[in-house]
Amino acid sequence: MSQQVLNLTCPSCGAPASTTDKNCVYCEREIVISSFSSVSKMLPSEVTKYANVYKKTLAQSPRDGELNNSLAMCYLKLRLYDKASISFDTAIEANVDNSETYFYAAICLLKGQKAFLSLRPIIDRIEEYINAAIMIEPKAIYYYFQAYIKYDYYSRKFFNTSPTYQEAYQQAIDAGLSDCDIEQIYSVMGVARPECL
């Protein structure tokens, strides 16, 4: 699906830019956020500037998948989970082939809480998103998140599930799970890592 080119300003310095620009020609900062790692080290005030630029531009083209994904990443960093979820859903509708959007949409549904505290319909939706992400691109971090859900929701509540958290964890290891992946996922989720994972 082709993306519409939209004019916007650099969220960092305010220089004129467009959605086709990767980095600002003046300040060299990223224009359109494509992953959570782009906002993870930003201060909340800077993330808010980015979110405001995206919201303003989305007023002209509210269905733009790329900008909705960027806005959702900002909201996720700011822990505005309900807003992030709406933007992720719009981004998924615009681009069903972006595995990271499904992955972060799944994390967003936890709302900064352990999976154990979530209701079953939320867990079912998380599993739909993570299974979609794995079908598109079987990354180790996706399998690891699946293992986390299988452990913290199913195993802790003594529910049977397939795959088990151990099987999902092994799939993550087989896919090349790194310590960086593990650190990133708990940073995004905002919860402590269970001892068994």
Q: What is the CATH number of the domain that holds 21?
A: 1.25.40.10
- Say what the pLDDT of residue 152 is: 96
Q: Are the beta carbons of 44 and 75 closer than 8 angstroms?
A: no
Kindly state whether residue 168 falls inside one of the protein's structural domains: yes
Report, as an integer, the average pLDDT of 105-113. Answer: 97
Residues 91 and 118 in one domain: no
Residues 88 and 10 in one domain: yes
pLDDT digits (tens, 9 = 90+) for 130-167: 999 999 999 999 999 999 999 999 999 999 999 999 99
Residues 79 and 116 in one domain: no
3-class DSSP state for residue 79? Answer: coil
Kindly state whether residue 105 falls inside one of the protein's structural domains: no
Q: What domain range is 187 assigned to?
A: 111-197
Residues 52 and 14 in one domain: yes
Residues 14 and 86 in one domain: yes
Picking from 38, 45, 99, 31, the residue whose alpha carbon sits closest to that of residue 73 is 38
pTM to 2 decimal places: 0.92
pLDDT tier at 1, thresholds 50, 70, 90: very low
C-alpha distances in Å from residue 148, one per residue of 54, 55, 107, 153, 164: 32, 33, 11, 8, 10
